[in-house]
């Protein structure tokens, strides 16, 4: 009986020590508020309006495009035929078949003139 009680006591103690270690780590870790530089996330602009993009949309220019048998939507296995778009233009016809968007895609993939930041 005392062996089980000893085992329970040891396990509870180990759990408490582990919790204490986590709490100390949370308290002493360095954050941006401590003056540490944290890089900003890369923001890719929408090819239609320039707002931050939230998704990618097929441009419709792939000569080997595929059709989804369930939805009937065209898609491409070539990722270069997808353009960054904001939520407002995700299903917009403005993105489809935009030849002028191709240079913009290359700029987005290269990080843009401003390093991909806005």
Instruction: Kindly give the residue spans of alpha helices, DSSP state H, lying in the chain.
Output: 2-28, 101-110
Question: pLDDT tens-digit profile of 75-98?
Answer: 889 988 888 888 888 776 656 555
Model pTM? 0.48
Please tell me the predicted confidence (pLDDT) of residue 9.
95
- Report d(CA 117, CA 14) in Å as an integer: 46
Task: Give the residue extent of every domain in the chain.
Answer: 2-30, 55-110
Question: pLDDT tens-digit profile of 30-66?
Answer: 766 777 776 777 889 988 888 899 888 888 888 888 8
Q: Strands 82-85 and 55-58, how do they pair? A: antiparallel
- Report d(CA 91, CA 80) in Å as an integer: 18
Confidence of residue 74 (pLDDT cuts 50, 70, 90): confident
Going by C-alpha positions, the residue among 105, 88, 79 that lies closest to residue 51 is 88
Buried b (16+ CB within 10 A) or exposed e, 58-82: bbebbeeeeeeeeeeeeebeeeebb
């Amino acid at each position: 009986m005392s062996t089980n009680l000893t085992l329970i006591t040891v396990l509870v103690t180990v759990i408490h020590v582990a919790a204490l270690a986590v709490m100390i780590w949370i308290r002493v870790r360095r954050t941006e508020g401590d003056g540490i530089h944290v890089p900003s996330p890369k923001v890719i602009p929408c090819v239609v309006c320039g707002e931050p993009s939230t998704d990618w949309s097929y441009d419709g220019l792939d000569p080997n495009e595929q059709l989804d048998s369930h939805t009937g939507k065209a898609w491409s296995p070539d990722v270069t035929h997808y353009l960054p778009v904001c939520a407002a233009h995700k299903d917009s016809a403005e993105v489809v078949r935009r030849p002028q968007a191709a240079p913009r895609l290359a700029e987005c993939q290269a990080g843009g003139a401003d390093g991909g930041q806005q």
